[in-house]
Structure 1
């Protein structure tokens, strides 16, 4: 028996970008004149879909087959990639690969080690239901996990 959080027919929202890992079945070789390849974005976070099937992977991971009506794609999603479709949603400001700036100075043990305005690169976006969005960023030779409010867009 499956211990699943979402039911078949339930409305869900994707909280992480889903990219082709080579397991996207039934895709055409060419979409809109572009060849599909591993790493290509399939569904962007924030999209709402409906659960079509609930199954297991490797006997311990619940996988949901979710149909995203607006983009007419059905993909497999892990439970930790989904929230209730009616839950409050605010899209994140930055994506993987964005170059942004620190919106404040950072200190450790009372010593400032990074200054407001220092450039950082976004390496990952993390969000959980009812929690603020966090970003894994590269600052010089360090990786830091920072809340969205600690970052600002780079002026053009």
Structure 2
């Protein structure tokens, strides 16, 4: 299977362990998450979590292990499914201190 998606691992990861992130998509169990029914929602759009670890998939893509404390789940997510809350806070603080 050939895809037009860029090879993410050529660049540094978009998120780092400990970074606070928000999910931009719903994630359902595709059968790989234990003790949950197939199709059960694991993460809702807007849920907030913390990056615990970074792995790769097919030596092309980063997969971020994100812990959603309120849900009690750790879910592997792609970078396009997440947005940093830490970077947004840092950028806002920088903009406010540099008028």
TM-score normalised to the size of structure 2? 0.72
The answer to whether the aligner puts 1:9 opposite 2:9 as a matched pair is: no
Aligned Cα RMSD in Å?
A: 1.9
Q: What is the CA-CA distance between 1:50 and the residue it aligns to?
A: 0.3
Decide whether the 8 Å contact of 1:21 with 1:38 is kept in 2: yes
How many residues align? The count is 79
1:9 deviates by 0.4
User: Counterparts of 2:45 and 2:71 in 1: how far apart (Å)?
Assistant: 13
Structure 1 residue runs of 4 or more that deviate by more than 2 Å after TM superposition:
85-88
SS state at 1:71 partner: coil
- TM-score normalised over the length of structure 1: 0.47
Task: Look up the SS of the partner of 1:80 in the other structure.
Answer: helix
- Report the alpha carbon displacement of residue 23 of structure 1 after superposing the two structures with TM: 1.6
What aligned pairs does 1:59-138 form with structure 2 within 5 A after superposition? Answer: 59-86=59-86, 87=88
- Report which of the two has the higher share of helix: 2
When Rg is computed on C-alpha atoms for both structures, the one with the higher figure is: 1
Q: Which structure has greater strand proportion? A: 1
Task: Give how far 1:40 is off.
Answer: 1.6
